[in-house]
Structure 1
Amino acid sequence: MTDELRRLLRETARAHQPDRARMLARVERGTARPGAAPRPRDHGRARALTWPKLVLATLATAGTLTVSALTVVAVVHTPDPPRSPTAAAPSDAGRTAPPAVGSRTEDGPLWADGSVDPHSNAYWAQSNVTLKAGESLTALVVELRIALTEGVKDTGSWRTRPAADFDLSTREEGGFLVYRWTLKPGRTVPAGEHVFAGQYDHAVGGRDAKDDTYRIDAGAGAGAAEGGAAVWGGFA
C-alpha cells in the first residue's frame, strides 16, 4: 500500500458524513498511473470493480463508520465521575456503642424477666418486669429504666400488688425514664408471681428496647432490701 493510499484512507476515516461515491472516486484517482488518460465510465464497470479497489473502498467506509460509532459511544457512555469520599455513608467510627447489659435473672428466692407487653403498638408501649418470689419478701425495690428514645413520655404505670403497699416515683435521669416501686415498711410481698409495668408513648413505628433495663433488690427479713438478693437484666 502506497503512502498516498494511506493518506487517502486516513482522510476518509476522519470524515463525519460518509459518501461512498466520493470515496470510490478518490481511491481511483490514487491508483491511476501518472499521465494516463481517464477511462470512460460505464455501468458494467461500476458493478465490476476489481477486488483491490472494492476492498479499499470497503475498508474506507468501515473505517469512517467505526470512527463515527466510537464518537457517539464516547459521548453517550461517558463514565460517571468517581464518588467523593464525603458522599459515602457515615462511618460508625467514633460512635460510642451502648454498654452491654449483663443479666442475672435468678438469685436466692428471686427470679425475674423483662419483656415488652404484646399489647404495645406503633405509638405506645408497656414494659413488664415479672418477679417470682420463692418466699415472702419484707423488703423490695423494683426499678425499671426506659431509654429516652424519640418521643418517649410517661403515660402511667401499674403493678399486680396493691398500690397502697408501695411508694412510686417516676422521673427522667441520665437519658432514661425511671420507674421505681419501693415496698413500704411493715408491708410484705407474698411468695408467687408479681408484675410491675411502666407505660409510655414513643415515636411512630417499632421501638427498639435493647437499651432498657430493670433491677430488683429484695430481702426476706428485717433491714434494707440491698442486703438481700438482687436480680437484673434487659429487654432485648
Structure 2
Amino acid sequence: MKDEELSGRLREAAEAHRPDRARMLARIERGMAGDRPAPRSVRPPRAVRPWLRVAGATAAVCGVLAAGAFAVTSAGDDARPRGGQVASAPSATAKAPDSPAGLPPEDGPLWTGGVVDPNSNPYWAQSNVTLRTTEPLSALTVELRVAETGGVNSTGSWRSLPEPDFTVSVDESGGYLVYRWTLRPGRTVPAGTHTFAGQYNHAEGDRDAGGDYVTAHAVRASGGKAAVGDRFGRAR
C-alpha cells in the first residue's frame, strides 16, 4: 500500500474515533488511588506505670505544701514591724506614765497624793499635797511642780506642820514653778497625815493641771529611805 493511501486511512480512522470520557476518568481515579500510601494506624497511648502515677501525685502534694508554707511565711513577714524589728513586751522595770520620775504613790510607810483645791477660780488656784506616814521621819523633802501653762506665778504657800521645822523655796525651773519644803536637821515629822499647799495666779480660764506633780523623799527615824510621787488631774 502506498504511503499516501495509508496516511489517508489513518486520518479517516482518527476523525471517526469518539473517546469514552467516563471510562477515561474512572481509570484516572483508579490510578491515583493506587499511588496513595496506605493510612497509618494510630498507636494507642502507652499505659502509665503505677509507680509513675504515685510519683506524680507525691510531687503535686509537695508542691501544694510548699505553696502553703510560703503563704504562711509571707503573711508572718508582713505582720512584723518595719525595719525587721519584732515588737517586744514592755519591760517590767518600765516607768508608769502616771508616776512622776518613776516613783510609786506609796512606798513602805509613806504615801502622797495631789489635787487642785475646789476653791480655785479662773484666775487663781491652790494645789494641795497630802502626805501620810505611818512612821516618824527624820528627813523629808517635798516638791510641788506646777507646769507653766501661761501666766503662772506664785502667791504663797503653807503647810500643816510647824513652820520653824521647814525651809521653803519657790523657783522656776524647766518650765515649772517649783515649791520645795525641806525638813530642817534635827527635826522630826510625826506619824500621821500632813498637808503642803502652793498658791499661784494663772492665765484666765480653765487651767489644765495634768502636767503638775508632787514628789516626796524621806528617811525613817528607824532607818531606811522611802520615795513617792503623784500627778495632778485636770482642774480649774
Query: Which TM-score bucket, shorter chain as reference?
Result: 0.5 to 0.7
* Equivalent of 2:230 in 226, 229, 233: 233
Q: TM-score when scaled to structure 1? A: 0.55
Aligned residues: 135
- Could you tell me which runs of 5 or more consecutive residues in structure 2 were left unpaired when the two chains were aligned: 1-95
* Partner SS for 1:151: coil
Deviation per CA, 1:33-72, whole angstroms, max 9, x where unpaired?
A: xxxxxxxxxxxxxxxxxxxxxxxxxxxxxxxxxxxxxxxx
How many Å apart are 1:126 and its aligned residue?
Answer: 0.4
Please state how far the C-alpha of 1:221 moved relative to its aligned partner.
Answer: 3.0
SS at match of 1:138: strand
2 CA distance for matches of 1:156 and 1:133?
25
Q: CA RMSD in A?
A: 1.7
- For 1:187 and 1:119, the matched residues in 2 are separated by 32
> Which residue does 1:110 correspond to in 2?
110
- Give the aligned partner of residue 144 of structure 1: 144
Distance in 2, matches of 1:113 and 1:184, equals 23
Tell me if structure 2 keeps the 8 A contact 1:101–1:213. no
Q: Does the alignment pair 1:210 with 2:210?
A: yes
Distance 1:222 1:173, change over 3 A: farther
Q: Aligned residue for 1:38?
A: none
The percentage of counterpart residues that share the same residue type is 59
CA distances 1:132-178 after superposition (whole Å, capped 9, x unpaired): 11011110000000001111010000000111100111100000000
Letter in 1 for 2:227: A
Structure 1 or 2, whichever has the larger Rg, is: 2
Partner residue of 2:180?
A: 180
Partner of 1:156: 156
Q: How much does 1:101 deviate?
A: 3.6
CA distance in 2, matches of 1:100, 1:127: 21
- What's the counterpart of residue 126 of structure 1? 126
Hey, what's the Cα distance between the residues in 1 that align with 2:97 and 2:108?
24
- 1:140–1:216: 8 Å Cα contact kept in structure 2? yes
List 4+ stretches of structure 1 deviating above 4 A. none
Distance in 2 between the 1:222 and 1:143 partners?
23
Deviation, structure 1 residue 105? 0.9
